[in-house]
Chain A
Amino acid sequence: MSKVTDKNNPPSTGGVSRQTFLRVAVGSAGVVYAAGLAYPVYRYVASPVEKAAKESAVTEVTLKDAQKLAPGSALMFKFGSKPSLLIHHDDGTWTALTAVCTHLGCTVRYQEDKKRIHCACHGGVYDPKTGANVSGPPPKPLKRYEVKVTDAAVIVSRSQDRA
Chain B
Amino acid sequence: MKSLFSSFYAWADERLGLEELVQFAKQKTVPVHSQSFWYYWGGLSLFFFLIQFATGVLLLLYYRPGPDAYDSVRQITYDTNFGWLVRSVHSWAANLMIVAIFVHMFSVFFMKAYRKPREFGWWSGVALLGMAMVFGFSGYLLPMDDLAYFATKVGMEIFSVVPMIGPKLADLVRGGPDVSEYTVHRFFALHVVVLPAVFLPILGFHLWLVQRHGNAVPPSEEAKPEAQRRSESFFPNFMMKDFAMWLVAFNVLSVLAFMFPWDLGPQADPLKPAPLGIHPEWYFMSQFQVLKIFGDLFPGTLGEILGIVVFTAGLLLWFLIPLYDNTQEAGRRARRATYFGLFTLIALIVTTIWAYLVL
Contact = CB atoms under 8 A, between A and B. Distances in A.
A162 B80 CA distance: 32
Contacts of A82: none
User: Which secondary structure dominates where chain B touches chain A?
Assistant: loop
Interface string A19-41: 00000000000000100000011
A45 B85 contact: no
Most B CB within 10 A of own CB, among A40, A43, A44, A47: A44
Contact of A45 (B58, B79, B250): B58
Contact of A40 (B62, B79, B85, B250): B85
A41 B58 contact: yes
Contacts of B81: 40, 43-44, 46-47, 50
A44 B250 CA distance: 19
Interface string A40-63: 110111110010000000000000
Nearest to A50: B81
Interface residues of B, number: 11
Most A CB within 10 A of own CB, among B79, B80, B83, B86: B80
Contacts of B82: 40-41, 43-44
B127 to A, nearest CB: 31
Contacts of A43: 81-82
Contacts of B61: 44-45
A47 B81 CA distance: 6
A44 B58 CA distance: 8
Interface string A115-159: 000000000000000000000000000000000000000000000
Interface residues of A, number: 9
B83 A47 contact: yes
A41 B57 CA distance: 11
A47 B77 CA distance: 12
Nearest to B85: A40
Contacts of A45: 58, 61
A10 to B, nearest CB: 22
B337 to A, nearest CB: 42
A71 B19 CA distance: 77
Interface string B46-75: 000000000000100110000000000000
Interface string B153-195: 0000000000000000000000000000000000000000000
A16 B250 CA distance: 31
Contacts of A40: 81-82, 85-86
Interface in B184-237: none
Contacts of A47: 62, 79-81, 83
A45 B80 CA distance: 9
A45 B61 CA distance: 8
A50 B81 CA distance: 9
A44 B83 CA distance: 6
B50 to A, nearest CB: 13
A32 to B, nearest CB: 12
A46 B83 CA distance: 11
A155 B103 CA distance: 66
B153 to A, nearest CB: 32
Contacts of A41: 58, 82
B49 to A, nearest CB: 17
A145 B86 CA distance: 41
A43 B83 CA distance: 9
Contacts of A46: 81
Given A40-B82, A47-B62, A47-B79, 19 more contacts: A33-B250, A40-B81, A40-B85, A40-B86, A41-B58, A43-B81, A44-B61, A44-B80, A44-B81, A44-B82, A44-B83, A44-B85, A44-B86, A45-B58, A45-B61, A46-B81, A47-B80, A47-B81, A47-B83
Interface of A: 33, 40-41, 43-47, 50
26 contacts: A33-B250, A40-B81, A40-B82, A40-B85, A40-B86, A41-B58, A41-B82, A43-B81, A43-B82, A44-B58, A44-B61, A44-B80, A44-B81, A44-B82, A44-B83, A44-B85, A44-B86, A45-B58, A45-B61, A46-B81, A47-B62, A47-B79, A47-B80, A47-B81, A47-B83, A50-B81
Q: A-B pairs with the 3 shortest C-beta distances?
A: A43-B81, A40-B82, A44-B82
